[in-house]
Amino acid sequence: MLIYLTRRKILKKITNYLMAFLLMPFFSIKKAMARNGDGTNGRMERQMNLPKPRFKGEVSVEHAIKHRRTIRSYLSKPLTLEQLSQIFWAAQGITEDRGYKRSAPSGGALYPMDIYSVVGDDGVKGLKAGIYHYDSQKHSALLITEGDFREDVARTALSQMWMARAPLNLVITAEYSRITSKYGSRGERYAMIEAGHVGQNIFLQVEALGLRAGIVGSFHDSDVARIMKISKSHEPLLILPVGYAE
Ligand SMILES: Cc1cc2nc3c(=O)[nH]c(=O)nc-3n(C[C@H](O)[C@H](O)[C@H](O)COP(=O)(O)O)c2cc1C
């Protein structure tokens, strides 16, 4: 009897160790409920550090302004993680050593914008298709929903299906409460103006990377938010498909 019990204990221990070993990778995945500002509605998240952005390029700002155009047809060639990282940074990256101010101006430095990327299958090398949220402070991306949602997003944009052929679609959202708390209803106007700055930063950065972008304002806001499973407080303002021009 004693031997039987000891054997059972040993077996139980081995099973526990095996289970712990098998489940280890899942524990390294960061699980977090929705926090202030990320608008992710409390689903499981997977956080990934992005490559450091570069502060020097080969294309002049004048050249980028001159050649920027809204592009509506793309190759199926994927982007690299470095390119996505650079684009996120240009859109809303931290640009001062104090770690606060961002790449685009913001009324009262209140930063009501968030950037998401709808990444398609094979849209970015080494990245699974999904909806990613950019964390400016950490320069990281959170995978908030897995899957290729480009066609669903394009359908909500009055079926502008050309958008779904770009490897990824960037979505700029505003959380008005972050700015209306100081400026009242005028804060909404400031947030919309800020979205324009962010959009132009994206346009110029992609141009400097040899990529192109489009810009889309015609879509059903609540459908985009629902498909992307982002918080209702994050209002989609602009969508920018990005990729290599055909
Ligand atoms: C706020 C805004 C919304 C836009 N919405 C759309 C859109 O839904 N679909 C589209 O094909 N282009 C859209 N555009 C792109 C314009 O059609 C484009 O900027 C204009 O034709 C000038 O061309 P360019 O950007 O190539 O210089 C939008 C542009 C802005 C600024």
Question: What is the pLDDT, as a whole number, of residue 189?
Answer: 98
Q: Are residues 27 and 51 in the same domain?
A: no
Q: Are residues 157 and 78 in the same domain?
A: yes
Q: Are residues 27 and 86 in the same domain?
A: no
Domain that holds residue 206: 45-243
Q: Is the CB of 63 under 6 A from ligand 1?
A: no
Residue given tokens 């008005």 in the structure block: 176
Domain count, the chain: 2
Percentage of the chain lying above the pLDDT 90 cut = 81
Q: Are residues 133 and 30 in the same domain?
A: no
Phi-psi region of 227 (alpha: psi -120 to 50; beta: other; left: phi over 0): alpha
Task: From 165, 215, 220, give the residue whose CB has the most ligand 1 atoms within 8 Å, as the site to mutate.
Answer: 215
- State the pLDDT confidence band at 16, using cuts at 50, 70 and 90: low
- State the pLDDT confidence band at 27, using cuts at 50, 70 and 90: very low
In the reported structure, the alpha carbon of residue 34 is separated from the centroid of ligand 1 by a whole-number distance in angstroms of 33
Backbone φ and ψ of 232, nearest 5°:
-65, -25
Q: Is the CB of 202 under 6 A from ligand 1?
A: no
Q: Is the CB of 211 under 6 A from ligand 1?
A: no
Q: Are residues 12 and 52 in the same domain?
A: no
Minimal-distance CA residue to ligand 1 atom 17: 70
Q: Are residues 8 and 65 in the same domain?
A: no
Residue 145 lies in a domain: yes
Residue 114 lies in a domain: yes
Question: What is the pLDDT, as a whole number, of residue 45?
Answer: 62
**Residue 170 maps to which CATH number?**
3.40.109.10
Q: Is the CB of 154 under 6 A from ligand 1?
A: no
Q: What is the mean pLDDT of residues 117-132?
A: 97
Question: What is the pLDDT, as a whole number, of residue 4?
Answer: 53
Residue 39 lies in a domain: no
Residue 70 pLDDT > 70: yes
Q: Are residues 30 and 142 in the same domain?
A: no
In the reported structure, the alpha carbon of residue 176 is separated from the centroid of ligand 1 by a whole-number distance in angstroms of 24
Question: What is the pLDDT, as a whole number, of residue 149?
Answer: 98
CA distances from 107 to 135, 172, 173, 220 (A): 20, 16, 16, 26
Residue 117 lies in a domain: yes
In the reported structure, the alpha carbon of residue 43 is separated from the centroid of ligand 1 by a whole-number distance in angstroms of 33
Q: Are residues 27 and 114 in the same domain?
A: no
Q: Are residues 4 and 62 in the same domain?
A: no
pLDDT tens digits, one per residue of 210-240: 999 999 999 999 999 999 999 999 999 999 9
Residue 82 pLDDT > 50: yes
Q: Are residues 27 and 80 in the same domain?
A: no
CA distance linking residue 129 with residue 121, whole number of Å: 5
Q: Is the CB of 159 under 6 A from ligand 1?
A: no
Residue 2 pLDDT > 60: no
In the reported structure, the alpha carbon of residue 215 is separated from the centroid of ligand 1 by a whole-number distance in angstroms of 5
Residue 105 lies in a domain: yes
Q: Are residues 167 and 82 in the same domain?
A: yes
pLDDT tens digits, one per residue of 127-170: 999 999 999 999 999 999 999 999 999 999 999 999 999 999 99
Which long-range contacts (C-beta less than 8 Å, at least 24 apart) are formed by 174-178? 174/112, 174/113, 174/114, 174/234, 174/235, 174/237, 175/37, 175/39, 175/112, 175/114, 175/231, 175/233, 175/234, 175/235, 176/112, 176/233, 176/235, 177/112, 177/233, 178/37, 178/110, 178/111, 178/112
Mean pLDDT of the chain: 89
Residue 154 lies in a domain: yes
In the reported structure, the alpha carbon of residue 172 is separated from the centroid of ligand 1 by a whole-number distance in angstroms of 15
Q: Are residues 80 and 26 in the same domain?
A: no
Ligand 1 atom nearest residue 70's Cα: 26
Q: What is the mean pLDDT of residues 65-78?
A: 98
Q: What is the mean pLDDT of residues 115-137?
A: 97
Q: Is the CB of 215 under 6 A from ligand 1?
A: yes
Q: What is the mean pLDDT of residues 94-117?
A: 98
Residue 217 lies in a domain: yes
Residue 40 lies in a domain: no
pLDDT tens digits, one per residue of 55-66: 999 999 999 999
